[in-house]
Each structure stands twice: as C-alpha cells, then as structure tokens.
Amino acid sequence: MPDGLLQNYIDGKFVDSSSSEVIDLISPVDGSVVGQSPVSNRTDVDAAVAAAERAFLTWGKTTPSVRQQALLKLADAIEAHSDEIVEAQCRNTGQLKAMIAAEEVAVSADQVRFFAGAARMVEGLSAGEYMEGFTSYVRREPIGVVGQVTPWNYPFMMAIWKICPALATGNTVVLKPSDTTPESTLVLARISQGILPNGVFNVVLGTGATGAELVDHPALGLVSITGSVRAGVAVASAAAQQLKRSHLELGGKAPAVVFGDVDITKAATGIAQAAFFNAGQDCTAATRVIVHESIHDQFVDALVEAAQTLRPGLPDDADAFYGPLNNVNHFTTVSQKISALPEHATIVTGGKQLGDKGFYFEPTVITGVRQDDAIVQDETFGPILTVQPFSSDDQAIELANGVRYALASSVWTKDHATAEKFSRALDFGAVWVNCHIPLVAEMPHGGFKYSGYGKDLSIYGVEDYTRIKHVMSAHD
C-alpha cells in the first residue's frame, strides 16, 4: 500500500493537490482500501496545463531524433521497473500479475520503441511545383498541449498509447488516469524523470469531474479519451464548444462470425479466450458469437467446455485465466445485465459471482438471445458471451453489423473467399480472420460509429497528433 495520499505529477515533480477532496482506492480482489487519491480541481489542472505550455516552447522545436532518444530511454526504464509497475497496477486492478507483466509492461515497452521510430518517419506530399512559378510543401507540426483521459481496464498500456504518439510528434501532455487505477501511471511518471524534460508529461488525479475540467481547458489543442460512449459524447461535446480536436476510442460489441466448416474445438477455444481475457474488460473482446445453424448446438457445447476451463483467480494464481471486475459499480452493472435477461434467453454456464469476496464473475455463455435484446445491443464489458444462429451470409452480416458499435470483429472459416467477403462486409475498424484480439504496434486500432474516431497505434495514430500546414513560395 502506498504511503499517504497520492500526488499529482506536474512540471517534473510530485506535488500535493490543492483540493481537499479525497477518494479511497479499493482492491477488486477483496474490497479492502489500498490507498487514497485526491480529486484534483481546476487549480491543479491549470498548473499542469501551464507547465505543459512552457515545456512545449522547447519540446515542440526538438528534432525527431531527440524525441526518439528520449522515448527509447523510457522504454528501457519501463523494462527495468517492470516489477514495480506490476505491483502498483495489481493493487488497483486485481489483474493477474503474470498478465500485467507480459501483456502490458513488456508489450508497452515494445510499443514505446515503435513510436520512437515513428517519430522520424512522418510523411507528407513531396515538395514540388504544383503551380507554375511556385514551390509547395507540407509541414506536419505538433498541435501543442494535449489533454488525455485513460481507462481502468489496461491502465499502464493505455497511458502508453496516449502519451507516446503525442510526445513523438512534439506535443506535451496532461493526462488524467482513471480514478480507480492511478498508481501504475504514477510509476510511469516517476521513471520518466530525467528522461522527459520537466512539463512534457504531467499527471493529474481525480474523478470524471477532474477530467471535465481538463477537457474544458482553453489552452488544449486536442483532447483524447479511451472510455465509454457516454464519456466520449461528453468529451466531444465539450471540445466542440471551443472547436478543439477530439480523439475518441470508445466501446465495442465485437461479433465473431463462425461458419460450419471450422474446427469446432479450436474456434470455440479461441473465441472463449478472446471473450474472457481480462474478465472481458476489453473493448475489442469477442462478445457475440454468430454461428451457422448447422453447428450451433455443437459449438455451444464446445464454448461451454472452453469457458469452464478459463476460470478467474487471485493475482498470483498461475492457473487462473483472468482476475476480478475492476470496481463495485461495474460489478453491479454486469450483475444487473444478467438479472435483466429476458425469459427467452438461457444461461448455459456461469452468470453469477464467484466466491464471496471481491468482484469475481464466472465466465458466462448465453443462448436464445434476440437481436434487439439489451444483452446483444449494449456493451457488457464483462466475461459474457452471447450466441445467435444464422442461416445465410446476408443474415450473418445483418446480425453482425446490427449494433451501434463498430470497433472490432472476426470471421472464422476455412474458405478464403468467405473470409475476403466478410472482411469487406463487416462494418468494424478491425476484422480478424480465424483469430480474435491480437494487436500489433504497426497496425491501427480504432472504430467507426459509436466506437468513436481517430486511431491508436501505427503511423495513423501518430499522424492524429499532428496538424498539417501548406507552405508555398513564389520563385520570383
């Protein structure tokens, strides 16, 4: 447990919040209090933004190679402090420690190195004479001070996804982590001392009210959030009032479309793992199985068998597949979605809390659902998988696309033509073929419709943190 009240990180130093409001940090493992965090106010936000503005005057003018070297050093520091990051995050999330180390810390270090290289590879149209007597070229410039809000499901990695493309392109950052999971972000801030110049990366702690103060700050050139649709709409609305740019990575309701030619056991195992990884607290998680009617019953049996082997457990449990839901409010919401199921839906496995301590929830498979059911239409963000049969390609496409979210999807088939057809037809920002959930730094992550706009990862994510300027010079 950290000693005393957590502090903000502003201008290269840890400082007390000017607010007297405090919230407890609760362990999802057993419900105990593991720390306290301030609820920062506008004074704190103003101080952080002012520090970022000062830092931008120099950081925004550095060469890409200078920014690359800083990010490479940060990646090395992340690896060197892996154990500390894991402990801090586990205290807030209850996630499996092995998962944090392998899937967040190690992966994040690799992603930092990608962004370090991408800092030197930003592209634009070549300089040339597009009008006789004039030479034109394009400048990609940093936007300025960027405000960012990260979620609680992958606190450390989401901080990396946010800050690194912004810093790589010369921006400075004020970041607000989730109120339930701030500690791994503060470790990141501490290990960045002496690597990133003071004021380049700032952290303010608090609740949604703190985030609203940050988003509303007139000095920001862009605001970026990973979170719920509700939060994304609020951020986009606030940003629109000042005509500042917004970058939104929001919810998902990913379908996995399964054809009758698959290896049933292999496909069911892969989809179950993609559904229950991190307790289903993943916006790209497989949530809806849309399976050909010819194998529906067999596939449900295989899903149940796979689900029953993927049990939750304590952070040090080497045999567990996932940890608890993050907080009591979310646990209550997931439980209520199960209790509100219509009579025609059938829970074939799971559907309730596991144990009498903490926020653990059983892996759950539900059949008999209809397209307009809330459990099909609304994001659950928990270890819940629904199953629907289809009889034709057109019906499969209609069911898959028939939700307001459009972040991720997958198609499972041995037929190449079918895979190609559905990669075009599925209206989602990502389509996996015979797999679901892997991400790589080189490829973009982001959705359509109510899943938001803008891209994380890849060169496209880097370009989102730049502005484009046309320069034209007369020859005479």
Three-state secondary structure of the chain: CCCCECCEEECCEEECCCCCCEEEEECCCCCCEEEEEECCCHHHHHHHHHHHHHHHHHHCCCCHHHHHHHHHHHHHHHHHCHHHHHHHHHHHHCCCHHHHHHHHHHHHHHHHHHHHHHCCCCCCCCCEEEECCEEEEEEEEECCEEEEECCCCCHHHHHHHHHHHHHHCCCEEEEECCCCCCHHHHHHHHHHECCECCCCEEECCCCHHHHHHHHCCCCEEEEEEECCHHHHHHHHHHHHHCCCEEEEECCCCEEEEECCCCCHHHHHHHHHHHHHHHHHCCCCCEEEEEEEHHHHHHHHHHHHHHHHHCCECCCCCCCCCECCCCCHHHHHHHHHHHHCCCCCCEEEECCCECCCCCCCECCEEEECCCCCCHHHHCCCCCCEEEEEEECCHHHHHHHHHCCCEECEEEEECCCHHHHHHHHHHCCCCEEEECCCCCCCCCCCECCEECCEECCECHHHHHHCCEEEEEEEEECC
466-474, strands of its sheet edge to edge: 128-131, 134-142, 466-474
Q: Is 283 a catalytic residue?
A: yes
What is the C-alpha to C-alpha distance for residues 261 and 292, in angstroms, rounded to an integer?
9
Nearest C-alpha neighbor of 226 from the set 248, 244, 245, 253: 248
Q: Is 249 a catalytic residue?
A: yes
CA 195, 198, 202, 203 dihedral sign is positive
Active-site entry in 249, 362, 379, 463: 249
Active-site entry in 283, 362, 379, 463: 283
Q: Which residues are catalytic?
A: 249, 283
